[in-house]
Amino acid sequence: MKAVFRRTLTMLLLLLVSSFAVFAAIRLSGGDVTAARLPASASAADRALFRQQVGLDKPIINQYFTYLRKLATGDLGNSLTNNAKLSTLATEKIRNSLILGGSSMVVIFALGIPLGMLAAMRRNSWLDTGITSISVAGMAIPNFWLALISIYVFSTLLGWLPSAGQGGIRYLILPTLVLSAEGIALTVRMTRSAMLENLGQDFVRTLRAAGVSERRIHFKHVLRSSLMPLISLAGLRIGQIAGYALVVETIFGWAGVGQALVNAVLRRDYPVVQLFSLLLVVLVTFGNLMATVGYTVANPRLRK
């Protein structure tokens, strides 16, 4: 318990460092910030004035403290592109990303675990070979290309699903499947190898000798000891999803944090880049912490 507390404290400290790293990194660029807001015809004096207005003429460390002070009072700042309040902008983007990321998380485990179990229980059958091969391919296929193929097949050719945008559940299907593909493949592999490993353990032999049915051995005993470590590592999937969301949201025109971040980088909109990268880092750091804690809880042998 004390270790968890210490780790959490360290994480909070690291997040502060991360916030400064992000802050400094995007400000070191030689590019012209004013291009985000001012027309190309703006004079040098106008540009200098704009820099002064948004405080970009001061030393980075001063800017950082101003930023922290405002952050503490709940002021997230404004976008450089259209001066919109970030707090309003962020709420909507975060909601959209949570919908997409959350459903991918559910799909990863809802599809990955049963498929992995099936492959392990029918070891070396054509079903096992099929599931394993698809999961190897699923890990190798770049998700932006998978996105293009699925858009081409399911919306351009067949016209079953919309190719981009927000709306009902129909808009959610393709981006969710693409975003979760690698996670599903990984979960299948991990479930399969964990189950096979456990099937070879002594307790399975003992259960068999005691006359417990195969079905009961598989579903009750082996599954439970295989799934604990797997689910305890769910936090690591958050990092994976958060990273790929940048690409997948951009392709599907999903108005979430990832798309907003990529657009903001292309337009050099500092406050937006800052806010959304930090959000992702907080999320991923939290996921990693959850995985470390979860894994220790699930494996009593690691507790020292």
The residues that touch other proteins, with contacts defined as CB under 8 A, are: 10-11, 14-15, 17-18, 22, 25-26, 28-31, 136-137, 139-145, 148-149, 152, 156, 186, 189-190, 193-194, 197, 233, 236-237, 239-240, 242-244, 246-247, 250, 261-262, 265-266, 268, 273, 277, 280-281, 284-285, 288
Q: Which is nearer to other proteins, 29 or 212 (CB)?
A: 29
Q: Which residue has the tokens 């220790």?
A: 296
What's the min distance (Å) between Cβ of 124 and other proteins? Answer: 13
d(CA 19, CA 5): 21
User: Which residues, in sequence order, are CB contacts of 260 under 8 Å at separation 6+?
Assistant: 89, 93, 272, 276
Q: Which is nearer to other proteins, 49 or 262 (CB)?
A: 262
Q: Which is nearer to other proteins, 50 or 276 (CB)?
A: 276
Q: Which is nearer to other proteins, 47 or 267 (CB)?
A: 267
Chain-centroid distance of CA 244 in Å reads 6
Partners of 85 in beta bridges: 78
What's the min distance (Å) between Cβ of 8 and other proteins? Answer: 12
Query: By the 8 A CB rule, do 120 and 191 touch?
Result: yes
d(CA 244, CA 167): 21
Instruction: State whether residue 64 is helix, strand or coil.
Output: helix
Q: Which is nearer to other proteins, 16 or 69 (CB)?
A: 16
Q: Which is nearer to other proteins, 133 or 169 (CB)?
A: 133
- Tokens found for residue 9: 């404290």
HSE (side-chain half, CA atoms, 13 Å) at 301:
1
d(CA 6, CA 303): 15
What's the min distance (Å) between Cβ of 213 and other proteins? Answer: 28
What's the min distance (Å) between Cβ of 147 and other proteins? Answer: 10
What's the min distance (Å) between Cβ of 271 and other proteins? Answer: 13
Closest by alpha carbon to 284, among 85, 153, 101, 93? 101
What's the min distance (Å) between Cβ of 52 and other proteins? Answer: 22
Q: Which is nearer to other proteins, 136 or 216 (CB)?
A: 136
What's the min distance (Å) between Cβ of 28 and other proteins? Answer: 5
Neighbours of 52 (CB within 10 A): 11
Burial group, residue 251, by CB count within 10 angstroms (0-12, 13-18, 19+): buried
